[in-house]
Structures are given as C-alpha cells and as structure tokens.
Amino acid sequence: MTSFTRSGPLLEGEWVRLTDPKGRKHNVQLEAGREFSTKKGQIKHDDMIGQPEGIVIQSSMEFPYQVFRPLLFEYVVSMPRGAAIIYPKDAAQIVAQADIYPGARVVEAGAGSGSLTAYLLRAIGPTGTLGSYELREEFAENVTKNVHQVAGTDLPGWTLTVGDVRSCITETEIDRLILDMVDPWTCIPLASERLVPGGIVCAYVATTTQLSLFVETVRADGGFTEPRAWETLERDWHLEGLAVRPQHKMNGHTAFLVTARRMAPGFRSMGTSRRPAPGAYGPDYKGPRPAGLDEE
C-alpha cells in the first residue's frame, strides 16, 4: 500500500502535504527523527508520524500547518519530471472519454514522467494490463520511480519498454491505445492492426498542426469512426463572503485530445455528410486527404 491508496495513521515513508493559512503547500516524505525547514520554522516529522490525517501542527515558530496525505492529482503536478507531465485535467478526460475501465488492455506510447501511467493503472485495476513505451531510457527510469512511488512495486499488469512502440510492441489485441508523442499519426497503421473492433485510439497533441495531421490521417485510413477533438479549460473561483468571482488566473490550453473508435474488419467509416469548407484541402494543405473527397 502507498500513501495514495490507504487510510489510517500516517506512517514513516509516506508522503504528506502541508498547507499553511496562506494556501502555500509542501510535499514531505516522512522520516523519523527528521525536520522540515520552512520560513516559519522547523516542523518535526515525529509530530506527524502515527497521527491521523487532518491534524494541524505547529512549527518551531508556532506557525500552523494542516496535514493530509496528498491526493494523486496534487502529487503528480509536483513529481520529479523528465518529460512534461499530462496534467490532471487532461488525464481525467483521457480516463473518461477513452473509457478506461477495470480489466482493459491498454497501451500508452510516450510515458513522459509517469503521471498518466499512474491514472491508467488505477483505472484498469488489478485485472487490466498496461504496456507503456518510452523512447528515452532516462525518462523511463524516472517513470519507474514515480509510478512505484504512487502505486507501489507490485504491479504484475504493468510493463515499461524502452523503445519505439511502432517497432517493438508485443501486445497483439488491445482495447485502448493512448498516444502522447510528437507524431501520433504515424501510429494509425499500428492502431488499425492491434485495436480490437470498438477499441479506442486517443491522441494527446499540443499544436493545431499536429491535431490536423492526426485527424486527417485517421479519416484517410477509413477504418475508424469520425474523430472527435476537444480541449479542457479549468478555472478556479475566488470565494469570500459576497466577493464570489472567477480567479484571474486559470489552467488554459495544455493540449488537444482526439479520440476515434476502430471499425469492424471489412467496414469503413461513414465519415461526415458535411461538405468541407472551401479551401480546407487547397494547395497549401500538405496532409492526407480523406477518402472520397474528390468523388462526385
């Protein structure tokens, strides 16, 4: 068990999240005999070990701190990073919109720093499988450390492979394919070959150029439903008496998400009945052209 899956008294080795009255937060791993230094004095780890969550402790300068185990979304935004992380708002959308369920057979290409990996492992449960592929060995080492910190080391359903998913994938039948890479459109042949009928491919892309290339490659393949693309914006609210308003800062654009479902063998997508906008596939367009575009 880890600090992200258990309840009861706080134990040595677990992570806790300290919050002061101004909302400043610190993640601390408990170790007997140690102290955590802040501008408001020292906080003894021994004052937290063995205590329940939700206590308020005093620093050596009598400054109060609230103590809880960090929630997963709180931890991943501060975890050690190699590559950029997939933020909680996008990870939640992937789990929901790609319909990641207990027992699912999932492959992710581009493990990053392991934030999405942690969410996927929670969603598939002990009966599912997750194959993670990462091109860079140093990133993969960081993923392993982060995932073990969050989910423990007993993960029989998880494999992490250093290599290109397009050439070294071992899974033959998968339910969900998650693509967090620079050129996800190059994995459409792989998705066509390995996804079961009704399976979902989901791409996480940062730019409109990537978005367009991925969507048009899916359309040109013809073996997937019409892609759906969206982004998620998150904004907190200021709440104080009658001064209730949106916060001035918000978590805006991080990436676009795109999903499409695999058709049964021998069947092609119905596409869309809408005519493309004038110039959509004009001389400046360099990507693949949807099947049937030039037909009368």
- Domains of the chain (ranges, CATH numbers): 15-70 (3.10.330.20), 74-261 (3.40.50.150)
Quick one: pLDDT at residue 79?
80
What the block records as the tokens of 179 is 């693509």
Position 269 confidence tier, pLDDT thresholds 50, 70, 90: confident
Query: Cα(203)–Cα(184) distance, rounded to whole angstroms?
Result: 7
pLDDT value at 293 more than 80: no
Q: What is the mean pLDDT of residues 73-102?
A: 89
Annotated ligand binding at 164? The verdict is: yes
Q: How far is CA 49 from CA 34, 40, 282, in A?
A: 11, 20, 66
Query: Cα(6)–Cα(9) distance, rounded to whole angstroms?
Result: 9
63 SS3 class: coil
Query: Cα(292)–Cα(115) distance, rounded to whole angstroms?
Result: 40
**How long a stretch of residues is the chain?**
296
Average pLDDT of the chain to the nearest whole number: 91
Annotated ligand binding at 35? The verdict is: no
Quick one: pLDDT at residue 98?
97
What the block records as the tokens of 148 is 């073990």
Annotated ligand binding at 134? The verdict is: yes
Query: Cα(251)–Cα(93) distance, rounded to whole angstroms?
Result: 15
Annotated ligand binding at 195? The verdict is: no
Q: What is the mean pLDDT of residues 59-75?
A: 93
Give, as one character, the DSSP assignment of residue 226.
Answer: P
Annotated ligand binding at 53? The verdict is: no
pLDDT value at 289 more than 90: no
Question: Which of 140-154, 155-169, 265-279 comes out lowest in average pLDDT?
Answer: 265-279
Sign of CA dihedral 96, 99, 103, 109: negative
